């Protein structure tokens, strides 16, 4: 019993070297984890913007179908889709979706931009799609 008291009496906690080693390891983990977390947030915003662009492409297809049904002709300009009811720019939740076409018959460029004040502010994506035939 006397031997057990002596062992417990000699243990006073962690040494300074052990504490420094743990702090160095925590610093290394933080240096690796924090940038990865920030990159994941930016990637998520851009993926959300790509989803909004897909919504814009869907709007083009929907209004092209409406134009074909109403006029029995295939639309050749963005203006014809706007006349059919396509909103330009289109407010898609946290994104503003804009459509642009250089000339009749050219593909339409769909651009999604995160609305200021939302969690996706600053995110953008775009894609060029042909007019539906």
- Quote the CA–CA distance of 119 and 126 in Å, as a whole number: 19
pLDDT at 40 over 60: yes
Q: Are 87 and 115 in contact (CB under 8 A)?
A: no
pLDDT above 90: residue 39 = no
Domain boundary assignment for the chain: 14-129
Per the model's pLDDT, the better-predicted residue between 129 and 3 turns out to be: 129
pLDDT of residue 2: 59
State the pTM of this model. Answer: 0.71
In the chain, % of residues over pLDDT 90: 44
More confidently predicted of 55 and 35: 55
């Amino acid at each position: 019993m006397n031997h057990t008291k002596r062992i417990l009496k000699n243990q006073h906690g962690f040494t300074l070297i052990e504490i420094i080693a743990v702090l160095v390891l925590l610093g290394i983990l933080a240096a690796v984890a924090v940038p990865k977390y920030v990159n994941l947030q930016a990637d998520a915003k851009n993926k959300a913007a790509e989803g909004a662009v897909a919504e814009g492409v869907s709007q083009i297809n929907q209004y092209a179908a409406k134009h074909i049904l109403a006029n029995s002709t295939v639309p050749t300009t963005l203006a014809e889709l706007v006349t059919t009811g396509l909103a330009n720019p289109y407010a898609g939740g946290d994104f503003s979706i804009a459509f642009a076409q250089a000339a009749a018959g050219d593909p339409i460029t769909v651009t999604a931009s995160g609305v200021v004040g939302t969690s996706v502010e600053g995110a953008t994506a775009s894609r060029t799609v042909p007019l539906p035939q």
